[in-house]
Structure 1
Amino acid sequence: MMDQWKESSEEEEEEEQQPSDQSVLPTGSQDQLEDEEKPTQAQEVTSGDEWDTDLETDKATNEKQCLSCAELYLQACWWTGSVPVSSFLRHLGEASLNLNHYGVGPLGAKALAIVLQNDIVVTNLELEDNGLGAEGARYMVEMLQTNISIQSLNLSNNQLHLEGAHIISKMLLDNYYIKSLKLSGNDFDDSAVKYFADALKGDYVVKELDLSHNRFCNTGGEHLGHMLATNVGIEVLNLSWNHLRMGGAVALSAGLKVNSTLKQLQLSWNGFGHIEAESLGQALKQNSTLVLLDLSSNRIDDQAATLLCQGLAANDTLRVLKLSQNPLTNIGALTLLKTVTNNMKSAVEEIDISTVFVCEAFVELLEKACQGRPALDVRHSAMSSVTRNSSALQIFQKFLEERNESIMDFFQALDKEGTTKVSTSAFRKAVKAANIPLDQRQLEWLIRMFDKKCTATIIYSQFAELS
């Protein structure tokens, strides 16, 4: 089918006295590309490096304008020996080009680069999990030297390794258009992250950077910390699924203290514990831009949560805190909630501790907090008994409302002498006599709520606000 299309194309071009198909394609060869010198691990990143490209010549550029995108892509695939991706042909003319998981490979990446180097339509290019390797990344970088429309690039899970990191970092040194870059799962280590950190110091173009699912450790954290201290562009940084513990986390937190642009920081699955929580807590005291912090699936227990709260007590910008899948208990959950509610300047609107089973005291405090902060959303878990008990007050109030009574009316009816006090035994008998639909556990929880000091006496005047 490709031969038939080629012959037909040649006949049409001869009739129109256009150059042959071969002149439409780049003049270099694949053998020449493979002989090109590749960067070594010791090679330094410099802004003066220039790329050699065999994607096109000036003559080829002019002749490509005579072809449609589809024709150019098919010819590029034929010339590179790659299999055309049908999804590319189906979505021509769309701003978002999603080619994730299509097995494009290095040669397929070269064919795409030939077509996209002068494209002005595509703004989002998705190439995750395509086995591009460093060679395919090189073609994408060459393409980006002339393409000025692509702003979002996803090269996650493409086995880029250290060489690919070097290639992409060189692009970042002269980048004016890529605002979102996803590089998750490319086996980058501390040496690779140094390339990115050096290239992004002082950068203001890249707004979103995903480096999750790599192998950054202490040294990598130090590089990232230095980058955060000088970077003035990144707003979203994903470092989940790395190994940024101990010194790496401390260095990262130090950079966070002085950073003035980062809004979202994702650090799940990094093994953070006491030391890391304390350093992040200290960073939150000084940071004034971060609005989301994701610490899910770490080793943050009740003590670590207390250390983190040292920063939350003074922070007035953080809105979302994610702590699910951590060894927190109800004690740590209460500490978090009390810290947020006691900080009058706190901006926290969402706390995710959905894997923590809380007690009635937590539920009670949350309900009270939500009265003053209606937007506050704390995701938590609770046993059915806790949920049932915590609803006792609402059941009690609803019953009285149906009888056009208030809680104060109920207590005053029992207080014949006007002492503003009622014994717990008298209250218990009155509730049962009135057939209020509370089971025994709910009734006892309600009594404990009214008699917090366990004096067997309820001073009901302090509950006037409940009426």
Structure 2
Amino acid sequence: NRLNDNDAVSITQILERNTTIKTLVLNHNEFREEGGVLLGEAIARNTTLEDIDLSWNHLRRCGAIGIARGLQENLALRTVNLAWNGFGFEGCLAIGDMLTSNHTITELDLACNRINPPALLELLRGLSVNRTLRILRIGYNPVTAAFSSLILAVIKKHAESGLENIDMAGVVVDKEFVALLEEIQKDRFFIVNYEVSLPVKKISREEMREKIGLPSAYNVDPLRMLYLLKEKMRASDFFYKINKDHDDGLQRDELYSLFDESGIPVTGSVVDKIFEFMDTNGDGTIDLGEFLQGDKRMKNIARKQVRDEQQRKGKDENYNRYSRTFQKAHLDPITNALKVDPTIAPMRQSRRPSVAPRDSSDTLDNNRLRLP
């Protein structure tokens, strides 16, 4: 139905007037920031909803925070589906707060929500003290293999956690994750679904790609990976660093070597995306001119993202705590390492993870409202 923020007021009125709805389905719509805030306020006041589905919307920033705040105050919800939104760091910070005080939600779906390592740490902060959540879905998020084991480290340290099932579909884990899982399963019923475990021993690039076999092995945008590896080098110097044989263009094997040397095994689809972006004449190589032009385009994309972020800052001072930067929240100012609160998870050995309004014909039954 493509309901959007303009329709959120009507939905909140329905929730306020109807006291018998048990299930609310609002998936595949276009609720964003304002809509998320309004819906969150209605969720906080509602005392009858038990299941809510807000998957496949555009909830992010203030909208995501608004939903999390509503869940924090709600005392009836059992199942919450927030998959395929953009909760990211700010939203996960708010969800972490929610998990510390909510004692009714037993199933939470946060699949495909831009949850990276800093955002994951905020979730773990809440999970470490929550006793009622049984099922957590966090698949298809940019959680690197090196940080995957932190999830189980929290579960192992806080044995009173009620979690029984974690779905991490599409997420690659490390061998430490597998070892922790086996330890936990010796003492309690516990199920985890994940994509594949990275081997500890060194194997060839071809064997690694075959074993992982995923477009999202590291769940990170390929162009951003390339841009980060460039660091502060000039584009031309970076080109010649990659171009080992000093010929006229970059070959696919040279990009594979770049990622391997940086400790980031990648699949063919990662290199394919870089070539699709930079090989503008389609001859199968990236010459210096194409590389320089691609570098400019990547810079423009990065600058636009920064501008967009700056424009959104200061919209609502009530949300400032959730909009703090990653550096302030999680990065050590001296080492630039990602900090992990030792009270949440035990210290680990350091490593280098390198609409139109609805018409009167719509029906509303007493137990289920569906507005897909």
- TM-score, normalised on structure 1? 0.42
1:380 paired residue number = 194
Contact 1:217/1:243, CA 8 A, preserved across alignment: yes
Gap regions ≥5 residues in structure 1: 1-185, 388-451, 454-467
Contact 1:350/1:378, CA 8 A, preserved across alignment: yes
Contact 1:281/1:312, CA 8 A, preserved across alignment: yes
Contact 2:173/2:196, CA 8 A, preserved across alignment: yes
1:367 paired residue number = 182
- State the secondary structure of the residue aligned to 2:184: helix
Deviations 1:386-409 (A, max 9, x none): 69xxxxxxxxxxxxxxxxxxxxxx
Deviations 1:324-373 (A, max 9, x none): 11111123321111112222221101111122222221111110011111
User: Measured at CA, do residues 345 and 383 of structure 1 come closer, stay the same or move farther in structure 2, by a change above 3 Å?
Assistant: closer
The total of aligned residue pairs comes to: 204
Return the index of the structure with the highest Cα Rg.
Answer: 1
Does 2:5 align with 1:190?
yes
Does 2:103 align with 1:288?
yes
Distance in 2 (CA, whole Å) between partners of 1:360 and 1:220 is: 42
Contact 2:64/2:86, CA 8 A, preserved across alignment: no
Distance in 2 (CA, whole Å) between partners of 1:331 and 1:312 is: 19
Query: How far does residue 267 in structure 1 lie from its aligned partner after superposition?
Result: 0.9
2:334 paired residue number = none
Gap regions ≥5 residues in structure 2: 202-347, 350-372
- State the secondary structure of the residue aligned to 1:201: helix
**Counterparts of residues 42-57 of structure 1 (less than 5 Å):** none
Deviations 1:12-59 (A, max 9, x none): xxxxxxxxxxxxxxxxxxxxxxxxxxxxxxxxxxxxxxxxxxxxxxxx
Match of 1:337 among 148, 152, 155: 152
Does 2:76 align with 1:274?
no
Does 2:51 align with 1:236?
yes
Contact 1:303/1:332, CA 8 A, preserved across alignment: no
**Counterparts of residues 65-76 of structure 1 (less than 5 Å):** none
Structure with more contact order per residue of length (Cα contacts < 8 Å, sep ≥ 6): 2
User: Measured at CA, do residues 202 and 386 of structure 1 come closer, stay the same or move farther in structure 2, by a change above 3 Å?
Assistant: farther
Distance in 2 (CA, whole Å) between partners of 1:343 and 1:351 is: 15
Amino acid at match of 1:381: E
**Counterparts of residues 24-423 of structure 1 (less than 5 Å):** 186-201=1-16, 203-373=18-188, 375-383=189-197, 385=199
User: Measured at CA, do residues 240 and 368 of structure 1 come closer, stay the same or move farther in structure 2, by a change above 3 Å?
Assistant: same
Query: How far does residue 384 in structure 1 lie from its aligned partner after superposition?
Result: 7.8
Deviations 1:241-286 (A, max 9, x none): 1111111111111111110111111111112211111110001101
User: Runs of 4+ in structure 1 displaced over 6 angstroms?
Assistant: none
Distance in 1 (CA, whole Å) between partners of 2:26 and 2:76 is: 18
Distance in 1 (CA, whole Å) between partners of 2:133 and 2:156 is: 13
User: Measured at CA, do residues 386 and 233 of structure 1 come closer, stay the same or move farther in structure 2, by a change above 3 Å?
Assistant: farther
Distance in 1 (CA, whole Å) between partners of 2:17 and 2:36 is: 18
Contact 2:149/2:174, CA 8 A, preserved across alignment: no
2:332 paired residue number = none
User: Measured at CA, do residues 383 and 339 of structure 1 come closer, stay the same or move farther in structure 2, by a change above 3 Å?
Assistant: closer
Contact 1:329/1:357, CA 8 A, preserved across alignment: yes
1:151 paired residue number = none
Contact 1:296/1:323, CA 8 A, preserved across alignment: yes
Distance in 2 (CA, whole Å) between partners of 1:249 and 1:202 is: 24
Distance in 2 (CA, whole Å) between partners of 1:268 and 1:225 is: 16
Query: How far does residue 385 in structure 1 lie from its aligned partner after superposition?
Result: 4.6
What CA RMSD, in Å, does the superposition of the two structures yield over aligned residues?
Answer: 2.1
Percent identity over the alignment is 35
- State the secondary structure of the residue aligned to 2:28: coil
Query: How far does residue 202 in structure 1 lie from its aligned partner after superposition?
Result: 6.5
